[in-house]
Structure 1
Amino acid sequence: MSSTSFAVLTKARAKFGKRLTEKDYNNLLNSNSVAEVMSYLKSYTHYAEALRDVNERDVHRGRLEVLLRQHLFYEFDSLCRYDSQMSTGFSAYVISRTEIEQIMRFLTLLNTSSTEKFIYQYPTYFSKHTEIDLQKLALARNYDEFLSVLSNTKYAQIFTKYQPDENNLLPISDIENDLYTFVFSNLKKVIKSKTKGTERRELMELFTVINDYNNFSRVLRLKKYYNLSPEQIKSNLLYPFSGISEKIIDRMCSAESSGEVFSVMQETHTGKMIEQIGYVYASDISPRVKYKLARKNMYFSNNPSVVMISYMFVAETELMNIITLIEGTRYKLDSKKIQSLLIV
């Protein structure tokens, strides 16, 4: 192993070692107010520096999430600075994911004629890392202005085939699917061109299982909330990383109930993990699987790129746990209920 690879492994695992412990979560669950949650995070955890300037007695949930995401972004960026085969590819992947999050947030606001709200959670730290002019995007008020802002980006061609319908609404799900298909297709090309052996196998397995569970969750959601036909559901799934056969996908899309979707999924090798995952809601399964796989890689993988991306997935999960804790505390949920929603 090269000195660079060893450095990546060492640094990622050192960061992993600073994650919130069971004791931390218990103390946070016993907090009686959002101010107490924030005070604990600032005083006893690795978030102290990121939250240094936050007034714990006047914290805004949206502002807090931006700060925590900024902290996570720069942590991962520091790992990507090492000269490894996959650093550039993963850096591009992380940037693209953040760009898509901002694009989809804007388009969702556009569909409700409330684009003026975009600027309130506008991630200023991200501006120097993206080719999208986020300040101009914040000023856009219709789809034509949006297209103008995105015209010189790698996503421009995706948007040209879409236009608002007679009710001035955009097909949000279709656009999101095209964007993520584009990003994952590029990531798959990078993995296949830059890696080999166990490194390639571990990366492909990680993203394939995660994507299969994302598709499983998407089938459940589209059936429950959108009443789409099997063909429409199938067209809204992501295929760049997929380990489930088309026959199984067709059966899930044609299933008459959520229970039948579960049964079909559990027939697959990947789907057998459902029995090992403790979950409250079906939507919990995909993120819990991702966390389980990433945590396993942190302990057992010797491939720097696998450990690097797995650390990011673990850190993202911890961030969402913090948001869950803050929201649960704010709305006075029972601590056992909040605990059941945490992914640990």
Structure 2
Amino acid sequence: MSNTSFAVLTKARAKFGKRLTEKDYTGLLACQSVAEVMSYLKSYTHYSAALRDINERDVHRGRLEAMLRQNLFYEFDSLCRYDSSVSSGFSQYVIETIEVEQIIRFLILLNSNSTEKFIYQFPAYFSKHTEIDIDRLANAKNYEEFLKVLSDSPFYEILKSCSPDEKGRLHISEIENKLYDFVFANLLNIIKKNTKGRERQELTSFFLTINDYNIFSRILRLKKYYNLSPDAIKSNLLLKYSDISPKAIDMMCRAESSAEVFSIMQSTHNGKLIDKIGYVYASDISPRVKYRLARKNMHFSNNPSVVMLSYMFISEIELMNVVSLIEGVRYKLDTKLIQSLLIY
């Protein structure tokens, strides 16, 4: 292992050791206001440096969340500065993922004629890390203007093929699927080109398992909220990057109930993880599986790229926990309900 690779491994594991503990979550759950949550994070956790200049008595929930997301992004950027064999590819993956999130958010607003809200929710820190002209995008009033802004983007050809229908409506789910297909293909190509042996096997297995659970969750969601046909559901899945057999996919898409989808998924190799995690809602399953796999990698993998990526997934989930705590405290939800949403 090179010195730079060892540095990545050591740094990621050191950061992992500073994550929020059960004691921290107990303290945060006892907070009675967003200001108290902020004060605890500043005083007792690894978020203290990121929140040093923020006054907890004046902070707005939205700003606090934005600060924590910015901290997570820069933390990942810091890890990627080490000369890991695939770190630049992971950095590209994170940037492309955020770009897709923002593109989809803009298109949802465009569908509802509410694009004026876009700029107010955009993560300002990200402007320096994307080649998309955010100001021009925020001022686009229709899909044609939107495409002009994205004309130099790697996503342009995909977006060009997804014009509004005769009623002027965009099929957001279809666009989202195509964009993430592009991002995922780039990532796996980077893994294939820059890794080999055990490292490639661990990374590929990690991402395919995560995608399998994303497919499972997406099938449940599309059935419940959109009542799509089996073929329509299948067209909205990233099937090229899955270990689930085509037969099992087809059966889940044609299932008559959520219980049947669960039963089919649990019969697959990766689906057996469902029995090993505790969850309250079906939407919890995918992040809980990701967290379980990432924790396992942190303890047992000796590949720096696997450990680095696993740490970042754990950090993302920890941020989800903090956001859930902030929202729960803000709306005075029952402590037990808030706790049931946390993954740790």
Does the pair score TM above 0.5? yes
Partner amino acid, structure 2, of 1:45 = T
Matches within 5 A, 1:51-66: 51-66=51-66
Whether the 8 Å CA contact 1:35–1:56 is kept in 2: the answer is: yes
Q: Per-residue displacement from partner, 1:52-102 (whole Å, max 9, x unpaired)?
A: 233323433332222111111110111111112101111110110111111
CA distance in 2, matches of 1:258, 1:282: 10
CA distance in 2, matches of 1:8, 1:98: 23
Q: Per-residue displacement from partner, 1:86-137 (whole Å, max 9, x unpaired)?
A: 0111111011011111111111111111111111122221112111111211
Which residue pairs with 2:303 in the alignment? 303
Q: Does 1:116 align with 2:116?
A: yes
Which residue pairs with 1:97 in the alignment? 97
Whether the 8 Å CA contact 1:188–1:240 is kept in 2: the answer is: no
Which residue pairs with 2:87 in the alignment? 87
CA distance in 1, matches of 2:55, 2:239: 44
| Distance apart, 1:190 and its partner CA | 1.0
| Distance apart, 1:276 and its partner CA | 0.8
Which residue pairs with 1:199 in the alignment? 199
* 3-state secondary structure, aligned to 2:256: coil
Which residue pairs with 1:326 in the alignment? 326
Which residue pairs with 2:232 in the alignment? 232
- Name the stretch that deviates more: 197-206 or 130-139: 130-139
Whether the 8 Å CA contact 2:217–2:282 is kept in 1: the answer is: yes
Whether the 8 Å CA contact 2:127–2:134 is kept in 1: the answer is: yes
Q: Does 1:150 align with 2:150?
A: yes
CA distance in 1, matches of 2:196, 2:32: 51
CA distance in 2, matches of 1:66, 1:137: 20
Q: Does 1:315 align with 2:315?
A: yes
CA distance in 1, matches of 2:139, 2:55: 29
Partner amino acid, structure 1, of 2:79 = L
Whether the 8 Å CA contact 1:184–1:240 is kept in 2: the answer is: no
Q: Per-residue displacement from partner, 1:157-210 (whole Å, max 9, x unpaired)?
A: 001112222432211100000000001011111111111111001001100110
Across the aligned residues of Structure 1 and Structure 2, the Cα RMSD in angstroms comes to: 1.0
- Name the stretch that deviates more: 277-286 or 62-71: 62-71
Matches within 5 A, 1:275-290: 275-290=275-290
Which residue pairs with 1:254 in the alignment? 254
CA distance in 2, matches of 1:282, 1:123: 29
* 3-state secondary structure, aligned to 2:239: coil
- Name the stretch that deviates more: 61-70 or 308-317: 61-70
Which residue pairs with 2:189 in the alignment? 189
CA distance in 2, matches of 1:14, 1:6: 12
Partner amino acid, structure 2, of 1:188 = L
CA distance in 2, matches of 1:68, 1:109: 24
- Name the stretch that deviates more: 253-262 or 167-176: 167-176
Whether the 8 Å CA contact 1:185–1:240 is kept in 2: the answer is: no
Task: Report percent identity of matched pairs.
Answer: 72
TM-score, normalised to structure 2's length?
A: 0.98
Matched residue count: 344
Whether the 8 Å CA contact 1:252–1:260 is kept in 2: the answer is: yes
Q: 1:83 to 1:240 in 2, by over 3 A?
A: farther
- Name the stretch that deviates more: 319-328 or 120-129: 120-129
Q: Per-residue displacement from partner, 1:237-274 (whole Å, max 9, x unpaired)?
A: 01342100111100000000000000100111111100
Which residue pairs with 2:214 in the alignment? 214
Which residue pairs with 2:169 in the alignment? 169
Which residue pairs with 2:270 in the alignment? 270
Q: Which runs of 5+ in 1 are unaligned?
A: none
Whether the 8 Å CA contact 1:9–1:304 is kept in 2: the answer is: yes
Whether the 8 Å CA contact 1:32–1:329 is kept in 2: the answer is: yes
CA distance in 2, matches of 1:214, 1:281: 14
Whether the 8 Å CA contact 2:34–2:61 is kept in 1: the answer is: no
Which residue pairs with 2:133 in the alignment? 133
Whether the 8 Å CA contact 2:96–2:183 is kept in 1: the answer is: yes
Which residue pairs with 2:294 in the alignment? 294
* 3-state secondary structure, aligned to 2:168: coil
